[in-house]
Amino acid sequence: MSPPVGENAYFQHVCQPVFNSAPFMDITIVIRQYAEYDRWASTRIADRLAREPDGLLDTPLQSSFPSLRATLMHVRNAHAAWFQRMSGIPQQWPAEPSDELGTFLKHVNVMCGYATTLPLEALMGDATYTDLKGNAHTTPRWQPLMHCFNHGSYHRGQIVSMMRQLGLDDIPATDLVVYQRLLKKGGA
């Protein structure tokens, strides 16, 4: 049998069989660490930005979103939407009317709490939800969780670049490997 070709060849040939086979490492370990990492990294960013004047968060910048606050609120809203989708709660976008910095961590913490308590059966089980465009989807829960945490990492990288554009110093390291090294030392 020849390997698949085309746009999804790698996924079909390598990834899909691995993630759907029983001997694969318990994905709860990966999801829990990624959730805790997401909370740790988001907290470091939020704590650093809390030291700045509130108006600085609204300074216009060139990025996916027009300011630090807009980027943080996008991540907050996405975390809330994914939690709501997987929990069967009707989606609310934005997550709440306030755009205060504290609401960012509130929703990061909710998602982390949810992800770290799901047993393997729930992670492998399907979640059916409707996206913001009204399209229905069904997917194993571990997949949108990985997406949510990866999405947070993507935008934290943008936030770091935005902080540098503003000339901020003391920017916290938020790389996954930094978190894993702290865990190994017992300090995260």
Single out the residue of 146, 141, 144 nearest to residue 127, CA to CA: 141
Across 92-100, average pLDDT: 93
pLDDT (0 to 100) of residue 3: 53
pLDDT (0 to 100) of residue 6: 60
Vertex 40: Cα angle to 36 and 45 (nearest 5) = 145
pTM for the model stands at: 0.86
Across 93-101, average pLDDT: 94
Assigned superfamily of 26-185: dinb family like domain (1.20.120.450)
pLDDT (0 to 100) of residue 8: 58
Q: pLDDT higher for 83 or 25? A: 83
Torsion angle in degrees (nearest 10) through CA of 76, 130, 143, 37 = 10
